[in-house]
Amino acid sequence: MIHLVNMPYGSLTCPSPALGLIKSSLTQAGLDSRVFNLIFDFARLMGQDGYEMISLFKGTKTQVGEWLFAEQAWGRSFGPSEEWFLDQFERELSQKEGLIKRPQIPDMKSWLMKLRHDVIPSYLWQCLTRLETAGDLEVVGFSCSLFQTVSSLALGRLIKQEHPETKLVYGGACFHDVMGEELIKKVPWIDAVSTGEADDVVVPLFHALSSGRAPSELQGILYRDDQEIVSGPASHPVSTEVFESIPDPDYSDFFLDAGRVGLLDDYRWRKRICLAFESSRGCWWGEKQHCTFCGLNGKDIAFRAKSPERVYRTLANYERLYPDSICEATDNNLPENYLDTLIPKLKSDPPRPGMKIFYEVKSNMAREQIRAMSDAGMVYIQPGIESLSTHLLKLMHKGVSAIQNLYFLKCCREFGIFAFWNNLLRIPGERPQDYAKMASMIPSIYHLNPPYGGCIKIECQRFSPYFLGQAKGIKSLRPSPWYEAVFPPDLIDLERVAYFFDAVWEETLDDGAYREVMTATRSWLASWMERPQLPKLVMHRREDGSLAVEDTRDSANDGILIGTGSGTGDCTGDCISERSCKEWKLDDIEAAIYSAIRDPASAGKAAFKVSNVAGITLEREEARHHLRHLVEMGLAVEENGVFLGLALDENFKEIS
């Protein structure tokens, strides 16, 4: 039997798609395999909350999850002192207050030291015993996504020590390209690595290793032959035909292992289960214009998508095998043609009514497309919003404007979609006014989905245009400092294994320039996380043609001035504090104009709509005058002559 291993910090609620895929490919080829989700055993030893905190944490100076396993992986201490490292970790963790749930651990440092020195050594022996008990250790495969590498190396080292004849093969995002080349060269217990997409070589690879042959001439595979490292042909992205034909991942072992630790009976765990499915690889937008910070696609950005029918069958299959799970696409960007194919099909014939599906999407979508996503069960998405400044978006090559992003967020709120996004800072070429403008706008958009990822400075990732020198902005680079604490620098060339780099940036601002937008974002997030009800700005149509705009964006305590109540709109005076209007009343003309900018429109287009829909004749300049008042009142925004009303339709759908 082939042993496939899922080590910390793989997710406790989402099975590894890579291992599930390898297992089903091997099964199809008649090879017996088992995925061992040793993540559950570790979570049981350290507590589920502690495990999840560590797996979600990513610092710039520390990476505590990898560090915990480093001593066991390399058999020695190295790098900065434990005291220093843990101080830095505490500092970085406190900066993520509210974004990562901190477990109830009175003395975090002592707890981490105990894990590193006592718990992990015995955990690794337990892992070995589990693998041995299941069958002879002929071939063991590890798939390493971010922050799974050192734990996998630590277990590999122990396996090799106890079973020198066992073949160990590693792959996954952390072994792509030179990262895998460096690790097989320097880590003697690794027998083979896959340095790229391996769908069409996975069966011959495991077949060769389990029958004692060299896995030679397989694209993207490097293997050890005595002390020599032998390379197959260079890795290349698999073709669309191969991609379409690969089987669905087999997640059965994940549920068996979850059952072993009693999670199947835990309702809270069950309702968080996400099953990854893959409908495309690469990125159709990145192929045209690669976002400057993005290293997500590795070297394989070429876009390939499965047919909508194939994806529908996968979702139906998941529902049959693992009912009631959330289905999460691993795609970097929803394929454009699915808006006309897969999504209508999911709406008209859902594998299960109410099935929830997650996708990452590009944010310049039309209202009807966003509605269609909601109708198809896509009520949790990750749009590539990244900023609410058109200048910054241009610098990042996002191909979208601030007003399009705001419109997207407004439509998501109207159709009950939760959008997870980050507000990115430190963009080469940025100007103070980019952030000042964003900060001043935030109080007027409290009712829209805030960036739950917070405000984060962009980092330099391997394979990104910044890293490759294809985008301007970097003077010099070095691996992020935490690599020195998890890979011994005297053995491993950190430049070749690192994915995250510390850069000396050019044309960026001092931290002070971000302060205002960070403070405003924190209040915005708090208004969503802490208030009993989400903030609202909602239009209510009256029979006389007027509009009442219900406004709970401000809270009495925030003290943020949203509107002045002056101009053509009136504050009704029914206020929850002196400075916060609760309802705005717009007369019939104002109401007609406001309705005309429900979708983004210029003053001319708004005037045209007003005369067409409400039969009121308005000159463009007159319309512009009214629109500017609405902007001053905080009920609309303007960018380059295009206006957008911020209020939601009264029939908006609550986020569930």
213 CB-near residues (< 8 Å, 6+ apart) = none
Q: Residue 118, exposed/middle/buried by CB under 10 A (0-12, 13-18, 19+)?
A: exposed
By CB under 6 A, residue 283 contacts ligand SF4: yes
By CB under 6 A, residue 423 contacts ligand SF4: no
By CB under 6 A, residue 237 contacts ligand SF4: no
* Shortest distance in whole angstroms from residue 375 CB to ligand SF4: 24
226 CB-near residues (< 8 Å, 6+ apart) = none
Size of the site for ligand SF4 (CB under 6 A): 11
Sole window of 201-209, 238-246, 285-293, 432-440 interacting with ligand SF4 (rule: CB under 6 A): 285-293
Distance CA 264, CA 259 (A): 5
Between 351 and 384, whose beta carbon lies closer to ligand SF4?
A: 384
CB pairs under 8 A, 24+ apart, for 213-218? none
Between 88 and 404, whose beta carbon lies closer to ligand SF4?
A: 404
* Shortest distance in whole angstroms from residue 332 CB to ligand SF4: 3
Pairing status of strand 274-277 against strand 304-305: unpaired
* Shortest distance in whole angstroms from residue 323 CB to ligand SF4: 31
Exactly one of 157, 224, 281, 290 binds ligand SF4 (CB under 6 A); which one? 290
> Which residue stretches of 198-239 are H helix?
202-210
Distance CA 74, CA 641 (A): 61
| Cβ atoms of residues 458 and 537 within 8 Å | no
* Shortest distance in whole angstroms from residue 297 CB to ligand SF4: 6
- Name the residue among 318, 260, 329, 268 with its Cα closest to residue 13: 268
Between 287 and 309, whose beta carbon lies closer to ligand SF4?
A: 287
| Cβ atoms of residues 497 and 418 within 8 Å | no
Exactly one of 89, 142, 243, 285 binds ligand SF4 (CB under 6 A); which one? 285
Which amino acid appears at position 422 of this protein? N
- Name the residue among 467, 527, 465 with its Cα closest to residue 496: 467
Q: What angle do CA 562, 608, 648 make, to 5 degrees?
A: 35
Site string for ligand SF4, 302-341 (x = CB under 6 A): ------------------------------xx--------
Between 332 and 444, whose beta carbon lies closer to ligand SF4?
A: 332
By CB under 6 A, residue 627 contacts ligand SF4: no
Exactly one of 173, 296, 526, 575 binds ligand SF4 (CB under 6 A); which one? 296
Sole window of 238-246, 289-297, 370-378, 485-493 interacting with ligand SF4 (rule: CB under 6 A): 289-297
Give one word for 254, left, alpha or beta, with left for phi > 0 and alpha for psi -120 to 50. alpha
By CB under 6 A, residue 351 contacts ligand SF4: no
Between 364 and 523, whose beta carbon lies closer to ligand SF4?
A: 364
Comparing every residue's Cβ against ligand SF4, the nearest one is 286
* Shortest distance in whole angstroms from residue 399 CB to ligand SF4: 8
Exactly one of 291, 342, 471, 646 binds ligand SF4 (CB under 6 A); which one? 291
Distance CA 622, CA 60 (A): 52
Exactly one of 286, 335, 479, 569 binds ligand SF4 (CB under 6 A); which one? 286
Between 283 and 601, whose beta carbon lies closer to ligand SF4?
A: 283
- Name the residue among 135, 120, 116, 157 with its Cα closest to residue 36: 135
Between 287 and 621, whose beta carbon lies closer to ligand SF4?
A: 287
Between 243 and 318, whose beta carbon lies closer to ligand SF4?
A: 243
* Shortest distance in whole angstroms from residue 315 CB to ligand SF4: 22
Q: Which residues ranging from 378 to 397 are in contact with ligand SF4 (CB under 6 A)?
A: 384
CB pairs under 8 A, 24+ apart, for 79-85? 79/484, 79/485, 79/486, 79/488, 79/489, 80/484, 80/485, 82/113, 82/116, 85/485
3-state secondary structure of 456: strand
In the complex, the residues that contact ligand SF4 under the rule CB under 6 A are 283, 285-286, 290-291, 294, 296, 332-333, 362, 384
